[in-house]
Amino acid sequence: MRLANALLLACCCLQPLLAGAHVMLKVVTEDAPPFNFIVGQRLQGPAPRFVEQLLRHAGLPFQHHVYPWARSMALASHQPNVLIYSLARTPAREAQFHWLGRLGSERVALYALVSRRDLRASTLAEAGRLRIGISNQDVRGQWLREQGFAEASANRHAGLDVADNMETNLRRLQLGWIDAVPISADSLQAYCRRELLDCRQFRQLLPLPLTMELYLAASLGTPPATLARLRHSYQALLRDGSFARTFRGYQ
C-alpha cells in the first residue's frame, strides 16, 4: 500500500513537469526581402522579429534556421515541430500545414530590364514566349505552371527556368540569361537596396493576377498544445499592437 501511494505521489509530481516540457521547435525561413532577409550574416526584417517575439511570448524553445526555400519546405512538409515563414497560403497547401497567423502580402508582377525593349507582354499568353526565372518550390512558379507555363530547357527558350532563390534570378536577369522574373515591387526595391543596385534598370512588364498571402505555419506533426499556445500568443500580440508596430510600413 505504501509503495502504491509512493508511486501515485511520484506520478502526480511528475505530471506537471511533463506538461511544462516542450520539444525544441525548428523555425525555418529563407533569405527573401522585404519580410525576412540576411544582412551581414544576420537574419533581419519584420517577420523574424515578430516570430521570435511570438515564440518568447508563448514560452516555447526554438532554433532559427535560414535555408534555401526548397529545403525549408521539405523540412516543414516531412518533420514534426517545424515552423515555417513567410509561406504563401494557397488552396493546394491548405491541408499540408497548420496555419498560425498572417504576416503580410505581396502583389506579383513580371519585371524585365529597361534595356530589353524587344520584350512585350500585355497578356499571360504573350508572356508564355518569355524565359521566366523562378525559385525552387516557390508559389509563383506553381501558379505559372497552373496557367499553362511549361519548363524551359536547353532546346526551348520560352518557359520557366528554376534557380535556388530570387537573388540568383535577378543576377541572371541582369546577365540576360532570362527575360523576366515574377516579383513584387516592394521585394524588388528591397533587393536593390541591399545589393546596391539601381532599380531604375528594371521595369514592370506585366502585372499578374496573383497576390501572395504570407503566413507563419507549422508542420502537421506539431502537437495540438503547442499550436494552441502559438495561436493564443499570435492573437495577444495582435491585440496589444505588437504586430502592427513590427510590420508598420510593410502591410
Q: Is the pTM of this model over 0.75?
A: yes
- Can you tell me the distance from the alpha carbon of 39 to that of 158, in angstroms, rounded to the nearest whole number? 34
- Can you tell me the distance from the alpha carbon of 232 to that of 245, in angstroms, rounded to the nearest whole number? 19
- Given this model, what pLDDT does residue 160 score? 98
Q: Is 164 helix (H, G, I), strand (E, B) or coil?
A: coil
CATH number at 24-105+213-246: 3.40.190.10
* 243 contact partners, CB below 8 Å, separation of at least 6: 50, 234, 237
The ranges assigned to domains in the chain are: 24-105+213-246, 106-211
Kindly tell me the burial class for residue 173, based on how many C-beta atoms sit within 10 Å of its own C-beta (0-12, 13-18, 19 or more).
Answer: buried
Cell of 182: 515574377
- Can you tell me the distance from the alpha carbon of 147 to that of 229, in angstroms, rounded to the nearest whole number? 39
**pLDDT tens digits along 34-76:** 999 998 889 999 999 999 999 999 999 999 999 999 999 999 9
- Is the Cα torsion angle 132, 137, 140, 142 positive or negative in sign? positive
- Given this model, what pLDDT does residue 7 score? 34
Average pLDDT, the chain: 91
Longest dimension (CA), the chain: 90
- Given this model, what pLDDT does residue 14 score? 39
- Given this model, what pLDDT does residue 23 score? 86
On the question of a common fold for 24-105+213-246 and 106-211, the answer reads: yes
Cα 112 to chain center, whole Å?
Answer: 23
Element (H, E) at 247: none
pLDDT at position 89 over 50: yes
- Can you tell me the distance from the alpha carbon of 157 to that of 29, in angstroms, rounded to the nearest whole number? 31
Residue 68 phi/psi, 5-degree rounding, is -55, 145
pLDDT at position 128 over 70: yes
* 208 contact partners, CB below 8 Å, separation of at least 6: 108, 109, 110, 124, 143, 182
Q: Please list, residue by residue across 184-206, b when 16 or more beta carbons sit within 10 angstroms of its beta carbon and e when fewer do.
A: bbbbbbbbbebeebeeeebbebb
Report, at the CATH architecture level, how domain 106-211 is classified.
3-Layer(aba) Sandwich (3.40)
- Given this model, what pLDDT does residue 251 score? 61
Question: If you count them, how many residues does the chain have?
Answer: 251
* Residue/partner pairs of 247-250 with CB below 8 Å, 24 or more apart: 247/46, 247/50, 247/103, 247/104, 250/34, 250/35, 250/46, 250/104, 250/186
- Can you tell me the distance from the alpha carbon of 251 to that of 243, in angstroms, rounded to the nearest whole number? 11
